[in-house]
């Protein structure tokens, strides 16, 4: 498929070299920055992008329940001049993923999939030939991290030299945040109970990116040390979808890592509180922190829409 720049309201938009966002690794450091800059313009001037997906239907595939991801992708497709079709349930349940992908390729122009296995996203991209977006897998959550980086840019004005501390399970959200922070020059500390650290190979990759930007990537179980001078504190649920059978044991191990007012006081004065939602209030965080003046959780949720629109605009370059 031929890929070339396209122009929207005098803004020249290059296609993504990978042609997909299967994981955070599909974005080069330069593309990550360009996408976030584009998201700022998309948010400020939505009408300029109202015809980017004109006539295009986006397939939205959901193996997991969704509020923010589903609604923001549906709204994004419509605000960009296209539309979407939603399919829920196992993607490879009735037939192989490769067959699902080739059917979708005959009817629609782009795929966003919220899956359990990362391999499902990879297969959809491989067999459909359509621009394919990882809307969450067990290994990565790139769209959430893009929205989070946009939110931090709005509150801080930039990323370089700032410090983001993530507290809790070293999961898909931690992976994507770490990879983006490293490429944007932001220090990242992942604070987890022993045995729940992020995947070693992703930490290694993030440190490779950080070597070029001056960022520091740290993994620790020491809460106070990890939070020292952190300018934003991020958490997520202790047991993700598919891990419910571990919930009781996780609740016991993660209890000291609850992001409450005492824990927030260990961070820098005025540190932002972040959560990808849905939040289990009084578990991984408290109602008091969620409702505090430093909470930016609904800014993050809003920015899912704008970041995903920017991503879809860049992927649309290969549809023309």
Residue 10: pLDDT over 70: no
Query: Do 165 and 296 have their domain in common?
Result: yes
pLDDT classification of 5: cutoffs 50, 70, 90: low
Among 22, 70, 141, 250, the active-site one is: 141
Is 1 among the domain residues? no
Query: Do 60 and 163 have their domain in common?
Result: no
Among 24, 41, 169, 236, the active-site one is: 236
Q: Catalytic residue at 126?
A: no
pLDDT digits (tens, 9 = 90+) for 52-85: 999 999 999 999 999 999 999 999 999 999 999 9
Residues 150/39, Cβ–Cβ less than 8 Å: yes
Query: Do 135 and 203 have their domain in common?
Result: no
Query: Do 235 and 192 have their domain in common?
Result: yes
Query: Do 109 and 164 have their domain in common?
Result: no
pLDDT digits (tens, 9 = 90+) for 286-314: 999 999 999 999 999 999 999 999 999 99
Query: Do 91 and 224 have their domain in common?
Result: no
Residue 1: pLDDT over 50: no
Return the structure tokens found at 246. 């571990």
Query: Do 161 and 296 have their domain in common?
Result: yes
User: Domain range holding 262?
Assistant: 143-300
Among 114, 187, 189, 306, the active-site one is: 114
Name the residue among 182, 151, 108 with its Cα closest to residue 303.
Answer: 151
Among 79, 109, 144, 318, the active-site one is: 144
Return the structure tokens found at 130. 């359509």
The 3-class SS string of the chain reads CCCCCEEECCEEECCCCCCCECCHHHCCHHHHHHHHHHHHHHHHCHHHHCCCCCCCEEEEEECCCCCHHHHHHHHHHHHCCCEEEEEECCCCCCCCHHHHHHHHHHHCCEEEEECCCHHHHHHHHHHHCCCEEEEECCCCCHHHHHHHHHHHHHHHCCCCCCEEEEECCCCHHHHHHHHHHHHHCCEEEEECCCCCCCCHHHHHHHHHHHHHHCCCEEEECCHHHHHCCCCEEEECCCCCCCCHHHHHHHHHHHHHHCECHHHHCCCCCCCEEEECCCCCECCCECHHHHCCCCECHHHHHHHHHHHHHHHHHHHHHHHC
Q: How far is CA 151 from the centre of its chain?
A: 12
Query: Do 110 and 159 have their domain in common?
Result: no
Query: Do 121 and 223 have their domain in common?
Result: no
Q: What is the Cα–Cα distance from 138 to 119, expressed in whole angstroms?
A: 10
Residues 272/232, Cβ–Cβ less than 8 Å: yes
Name the residue among 239, 146, 140 with its Cα closest to residue 196.
Answer: 239
Q: Catalytic residue at 225?
A: no
Average pLDDT over residues 148-167: 98
Query: What CATH code is carried by the domain that includes residue 209?
Result: 3.40.50.1370
Query: Do 276 and 157 have their domain in common?
Result: yes
Is 263 among the domain residues? yes
Is 224 among the domain residues? yes
Among 22, 189, 250, 304, the active-site one is: 304
What is the pLDDT, as a whole number, of residue 2? 45
158 C-beta neighbours (distance < 10 Å), count: 11
Query: Do 212 and 104 have their domain in common?
Result: no
Q: Catalytic residue at 148?
A: no
Q: Catalytic residue at 236?
A: yes
pLDDT digits (tens, 9 = 90+) for 177-218: 999 999 999 999 999 999 999 999 999 999 999 999 999 999
The number of folded domains in the chain is: 2
Query: Do 223 and 283 have their domain in common?
Result: yes
Among 22, 276, 308, 318, the active-site one is: 276
């Amino acid at each position: 498929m031929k890929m070339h720049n396209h122009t929207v309201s005098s803004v020249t938009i290059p296609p993504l070299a990978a042609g997909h966002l299967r994981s955070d690794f599909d974005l080069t450091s330069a593309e990550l920055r360009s996408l976030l800059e584009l998201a700022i313009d998309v948010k400020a001037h939505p009408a300029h992008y109202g015809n980017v997906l004109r006539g295009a239907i986006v397939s939205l595939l959901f193996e997991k329940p969704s509020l923010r991801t589903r609604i923001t992708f549906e709204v994004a497709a419509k605000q960009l001049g296209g539309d979407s079709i939603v399919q829920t349930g196992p993607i490879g349940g009735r037939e192989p993923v490769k067959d699902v992908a080739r059917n979708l390729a005959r009817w629609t122009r782009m795929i966003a999939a919220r899956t359990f296995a990362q391999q499902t996203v990879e297969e959809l991209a491989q067999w459909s030939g359509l621009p394919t977006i990882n809307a969450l897998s067990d290994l990565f959550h790139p769209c959430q991290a893009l929205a989070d980086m946009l939110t931090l840019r709005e509150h801080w004005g930039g990323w370089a030299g700032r410090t983001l501390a993530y507290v809790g399970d070293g999961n898909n959200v931690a992976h994507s945040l770490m990879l983006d922070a490293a490429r944007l020059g932001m220090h990242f500390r992942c604070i987890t109970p022993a045995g729940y650290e992020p995947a070693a190979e992703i930490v290694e990759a993030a440190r490779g990116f950080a070597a070029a930007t001056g960022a520091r990537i740290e993994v620790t179980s020491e809460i106070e040390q990890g939070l020292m001078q952190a300018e934003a504190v991020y958490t997520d649920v202790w047991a993700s979808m598919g891990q419910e059978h571990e919930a009781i044991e996780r609740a016991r191990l993660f209890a000291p890592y609850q992001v409450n007012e005492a824990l927030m006081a260990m961070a820098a004065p005025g540190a932002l509180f972040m959560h990808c939602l849905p939040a289990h209030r009084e578990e991984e965080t408290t109602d008091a922190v969620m409702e505090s003046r430093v909470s930016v959780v609904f800014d993050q949720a809003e920015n899912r829409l704008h970041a995903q629109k920017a991503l879809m605009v860049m992927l649309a370059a290969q549809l023309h």
